[in-house]
Amino acid sequence: MGPLGERRCRRRPTALESGEQAIAKNLRCNEQVRISPIRLIDENNGQLGIIEVKEAQLRARTAGLDLVEVDPNSRPPVCRIMDYGKWKYAMRKKEQKARSHRRETELKEVRIKTPKIGDHDLDIKLKHAREWLERGDRVQFMLRFRGRELAHVDEGRKVFAHIQETLGDLVKVEQPVRYEGKRITMMLAPSGKKPGSGGAAASAAAHQPAAHPAARGFAQAGVRLV
């Protein structure tokens, strides 16, 4: 309601303006339009006002075009003179193009059974994570602690820090490290930057396997990694 109590209404989009819905409906055209009078828009977007439907159909035939009912819910209905077949073809092409570029993102999960994971095993998991992220998916990392490993929770954080460092500019942190009982989780999402945007040397360095800090920490403590 406005300041003086009047009602403000938004104009509903016509079926023609919402192209996909219009295709699904197969709008009435030419002799299928029977309600009279109608509000007519000509082929040049000119507002011709309210006229009898027979006169509008004659105008469309004379121009070699179609009379299309683009808003049947209005009173009187709104019709437009246009090339309906050409318009439907253009809308289908537009919809196909949009569908080809549209892809639902997925949430992938990388499970790490122990903070003592070996370099080779971690590199394999990071390779899969990189492929998913470059494809546009989000990746949740889950690291589980077993037995005495609960006394070394900081080593798990080091593993996650190593993951972020290795993936570099490719990712952004969507959910920081979170403790959930005997496990910790972290969710990464694509940053939107193209892989290797930091240069060929940086890209090559990011793909090279490297010992993560937790592995070095356990090695120094005399723990054998398996």
CATH of the domain at 177: 3.30.110.10
- Low-confidence winner among 119-123, 138-142, 190-194 (lowest mean pLDDT): 190-194
Sheet hosting strand 138-144, strand order edge to edge: 107-112, 138-144, 183-190, 171-180
CATH of the domain at 32: 3.10.20.80
pLDDT of 24 over the 80 cut: no
- Measuring CA to CA, how many Å separate 198 from each of 153, 194, 209? 33, 9, 18
**Close Cβ partners of 7 (under 8 Å, ≥ 6 residues apart):** 1
Has residue 101 been placed in a domain? no
CA 164 from centroid of its chain's CA atoms: 24
Which of 72, 96, 120 is at the close of a domain?
A: 96
Q: Residue range 155-167: average pLDDT? A: 92
Which of 50, 71, 96 is at the close of a domain?
A: 96
Question: Which pLDDT value is given to residue 64?
Answer: 92
Q: What radius of gyration do the chain's Cα atoms show?
A: 31
Say how many residues make up the chain. Answer: 226
Question: Which pLDDT value is given to residue 66?
Answer: 92
Which of 70, 96, 122 is at the close of a domain?
A: 96
> Same domain for 135 and 154?
yes
Print the domain residue range for 127.
107-216
pLDDT of 57 over the 70 cut: yes
pLDDT of 217 over the 70 cut: no
Question: Which pLDDT value is given to residue 153?
Answer: 87
Per-residue model confidence as pLDDT tens digits over 58-94: 999 999 999 999 888 888 999 999 998 898 888 888 8
Has residue 225 been placed in a domain? no
Has residue 140 been placed in a domain? yes
> Same domain for 129 and 91?
no
Has residue 133 been placed in a domain? yes
Q: What span, in angstroms and rounded, lies between the C-alpha atoms of 92 and 98?
A: 10
Q: Residue range 121-129: average pLDDT? A: 94
> Same domain for 126 and 184?
yes
Q: Are 183 and 143 in contact (CB under 8 A)?
A: yes
